[in-house]
Amino acid sequence: MHYKGGIMNYDLVPENVKDSIVRYVDHRIEPGSFLIAVLSNNLSEAVGRADHINIRLLPEIVNFIYNKIPAGCWGSFDKVSKWLEER
């Protein structure tokens, strides 16, 4: 995966979440409903779909997305839909 630069420690982001994000970015594979909500910048939906682990780590997950993946593939539902359509 081609990450944007940055010097942050993302060890708190669960590996399964990172793996889903990598598959989404590199192969345009649709992640689960929680990550779709996060990638779409839909906070209320993300909170409602988060499990007991990801709810506590939501700030770290958002920081990871904001700092490490291309802006063209996240930020709104339209961007996420377009990204997935261009498989």
**2-17 residue pLDDT tens:** 444 444 567 889 999 9
Residue 66 class from Cβ within 10 Å (0-12 exposed, 13-18 middle, 19+ buried)? middle
Q: pTM here?
A: 0.88
| Residue 10: per-residue pLDDT | 76
Q: Please work out, in degrees rounded to the nearest 5, the angle formed at the alpha carbon of residue 25 by the alpha carbons of 20 and 30.
A: 55
Asked if the structure places residue 21 within a domain, the reply is yes
| Residue 30: per-residue pLDDT | 97
Amino acid at 56: R
Asked if the structure places residue 45 within a domain, the reply is yes
Asked if the structure places residue 67 within a domain, the reply is yes
Considering the chain, what is the average pLDDT of its residues?
A: 91
Task: Look at the chain and report how many structural domains it folds into.
Answer: 1
Asked if the structure places residue 9 within a domain, the reply is no
Asked if the structure places residue 8 within a domain, the reply is no
pLDDT band at 87 (very low <50, low <70, confident <90, very high): confident
pLDDT band at 38 (very low <50, low <70, confident <90, very high): very high
Q: What's the distance, CA 68 to chain centroid?
A: 10
Pairwise pLDDT comparison (62 vs 2), residue with the higher score: 62
Asked if the structure places residue 63 within a domain, the reply is yes
* Domain hosting residue 75, numbered range: 15-85
